Amino acid sequence: MRLLALVLISFTALAAQEVGLDTWRTSGLGVDWHHASGRVAYDVKGDDGYYDIRLADPDGGNDRPLSELAPGLPRRHVATPGWHPSGRWLVAAVEEQDHAGGSYEAIPGFGAFNDIWAIAGDGSWAKRLTSIPDDIARGMIIPTFSADGRRLVWTERLIGPIWWDPKKQMGVWRVRVADVIEDAAGPRLTNIRSYQPGGEGFHEPYAFTPNGRGIIMATSIGQPSVWTLQIVVMDLASGQITQRLTQTNYNEHARFTPDGRSIVWMTNASSTLGGCDWWMMDADGANKRRLSYFNEPGHPHCDGHARWAGLMTFAPDGRSFLGGGQYDLFSQEGWIKRVTLLPNGTGTGLTGEYFAREDLRGADGGLEADLERLDATVDFNWGWWMPAFGLPADRFSVRWSGELEPAYSGVYTFHLTADDGARLWIDDRLVVDMWGGAWGGVASGTAPLVAGRRHAIRLEYRESWGAAVMKLEWSGARQVRQVIPTSRLHPREPAGAVRRLFGLPGGNG
């Protein structure tokens, strides 16, 4: 009896955010984008070995100095710029001109001997806003304004690193929040408050929450060491942690997207080389997905060495950001990348036609499939089992067809892993032919694809006897090798036309 059905097979998978990535600066670290004026402030190490703040247009052009022009500003490390919303001035962490010891502990990220300074947007003036004690254990980093510019948050070190204490190997830090006043004498800070939610530890704030009532930050509280920092939200009214957005791994450098709906942060989750990559999550901590792959050998983002993503600043529309990253944790030197959040595909999979014979014919010898269904991806390992109820475990065949929609333009390599035979067409051109193999194996071929354009795809597979395997992957200059995801595959017939007549065991696996 012929089994004829249209069946929808659905699978639950982690959502993936596809991105474009290029280098904005080969050297640099801290960066902040003032939307209204279209100016980007960033810090970079100069020829004298000290960090300076420079300005550039968002496209990287029109690069010019800033901190070097400011009268009265110490000529040591000047870093981590943060624009006031007016664009008239910005703040930065600045190493004091004269202090005990050297400058290594004062580099960006360490912050010893650093005070918060205000610097005019044209470099015409500079003014110190805080006064840190002349103590290598004390310092400040990452000053950031509230959306209205009336408050400033930063992190201040109270005690230097205690290397034998895993909870204090980065020292003891507190959150500081101040009101910002502007008058004839220039900007100043008043009503400075201190927060250490949960007690002594590492507390590093990154931004005010969209409603202005909280701070998103990293903390070591409740963790076995500073190498398992978690991203949390602290309520400013109570000084207590009200949201825990991450629970495992090492996490830092979190910022909200301009619409407040998502958060980008860095974590070492799933890191092969041990560094940290950018990930994205919803504002409530749900739907975590990876953006960069700096630490995955073989990926176009990876240069073969561990890298650490850092703080980022978004474009006005939230569709891209500039973000610093580190080559080395001890020197704190790094680069600035531009990350573009690409539109995710809307695909639902490919139409799969299953035949009870090895020659793409039905059980009655006709051309009509014995079973037709929507398969989310082509990544099957049936082993010695039948591919679906009512079909044989040996001497069957499958044809998948529909359209393929890439995120990037370029020449792609298509990889087939099959036991036994398979062949692939892209835009009606035969790309891979391993149909005649008795035991199958792995074969590949290439085809040019255009981003956003749907390309016809047809994949045919046959199983003779024994274990049955079929996997379809792709790779490219900007595309890591992976099973082609559901979002990039469109069935031959609209998903709405698919109906379920009876259950089928199993699915991709």
The model's pLDDT over 411-462, given as tens digits with 9 standing for 90+, comes to: 999 999 998 899 999 999 999 999 986 677 899 999 999 988 999 999 999 9
**Beta strand extents in 410-508 (DSSP E only):** 410-419, 421-426, 429-434, 441-449, 455-463, 468-475, 482-483, 489-491
Query: What is the pLDDT, as a whole number, of residue 276?
Result: 97
The model's pLDDT over 324-346, given as tens digits with 9 standing for 90+, comes to: 999 988 888 999 999 999 877 88
Residues 6 or more apart in contact with residue 301 via CB below 8 angstroms: 21, 292, 293, 294
pLDDT at 5 over 70: no
Tokens of 246: 């991450």
The answer to whether residue 503 sits within a structural domain is: no
The answer to whether residue 464 sits within a structural domain is: yes
Query: What is the pLDDT, as a whole number, of residue 479?
Result: 79
Q: Is 299 helix (H, G, I), strand (E, B) or coil?
A: coil
The answer to whether residue 508 sits within a structural domain is: no
CATH code, domain with 110 = 2.120.10.30
Residues 471, 334, single domain; the answer is: no
**Beta strand extents in 229-370 (DSSP E only):** 230-235, 241-244, 251-256, 262-267, 277-282, 289-290, 308-314, 320-326, 334-341, 350-355
Query: What is the pLDDT, as a whole number, of residue 498?
Result: 36
Query: What is the pLDDT, as a whole number, of residue 496?
Result: 40
Within 10 Å of residue 100's Cβ, how many Cβ atoms? 8
Domain boundary at 341, 368, 394, which? 341
The model's pLDDT over 253-297, given as tens digits with 9 standing for 90+, comes to: 999 999 999 999 999 999 999 999 999 999 999 989 899 999 998
Banded model confidence at residue 16, pLDDT cuts 50, 70, 90: low
Query: Residues of the chain with pLDDT > 90: what percent?
Result: 80
User: What is the number of structural domains in the chain?
Assistant: 2
Q: Per mean pLDDT, which range of 19-28, 353-362, 375-384, 478-487 is the poorest?
A: 478-487
**Beta strand extents in 209-250 (DSSP E only):** 214-219, 230-235, 241-244
The answer to whether residue 507 sits within a structural domain is: no
Domain boundary at 325, 341, 357, which? 341
DSSP character string of 10-71: ---------EEEEEEESS---EEEETTTTEEEEEEE-TTSSEEEEEE-TTS-S-EESGGG-T
User: In the chain, helix, strand, coil percent, each to 5?
Assistant: 5, 45, 50
The answer to whether residue 1 sits within a structural domain is: no
The answer to whether residue 505 sits within a structural domain is: no
User: Between these two residues, 118 and 301, which has the higher pLDDT value?
Assistant: 118
In the predicted model, what is the mean pLDDT of residues 92-116?
A: 93
Domain boundary at 341, 360, 386, which? 341
Banded model confidence at residue 503, pLDDT cuts 50, 70, 90: very low
pTM to 2 decimal places: 0.77
CB contact at 8 A, 422 and 461: yes
Q: How far apart are CA 271 and CA 286, in angstroms?
A: 20
Q: What single-letter DSSP state applies at residue 330? A: T
Q: What single-letter DSSP state applies at residue 479? A: S
The model's pLDDT over 41-69, given as tens digits with 9 standing for 90+, comes to: 999 999 999 999 999 999 999 999 999 99
Closest CA to 442 of 465, 461, 422: 422
Query: What is the pLDDT, as a whole number, of residue 355?
Result: 95
The answer to whether residue 222 sits within a structural domain is: yes
Domain encompassing residue 162: 19-341
Closest CA to 252 of 202, 292, 194, 320: 202
CATH code, domain with 446 = 3.90.182.10
CA distances from 379 to 268, 301, 337, 350, 399 (A): 27, 25, 33, 12, 14
Banded model confidence at residue 231, pLDDT cuts 50, 70, 90: very high
Query: What is the pLDDT, as a whole number, of residue 346?
Result: 87
Tokens of 72: 């009265």
CA distances from 286 to 243, 263, 279 (A): 12, 10, 12
Query: Residues of the chain with pLDDT > 70: what percent?
Result: 93
Residues 390, 257, single domain; the answer is: no
Residue owning tokens 């490919």: 350
In the predicted model, what is the mean pLDDT of residues 115-125?
A: 98
Residues 326, 362, single domain; the answer is: no
pLDDT at 7 over 60: no
Length of the chain: 509
Residues 385, 306, single domain; the answer is: no
Closest CA to 326 of 313, 315, 311, 340: 311
Residues 337, 349, single domain; the answer is: no
Query: What is the pLDDT, as a whole number, of residue 482?
Result: 84
Q: How far apart are CA 403 and CA 194, in angstroms?
A: 57
CB contact at 8 A, 224 and 246: no
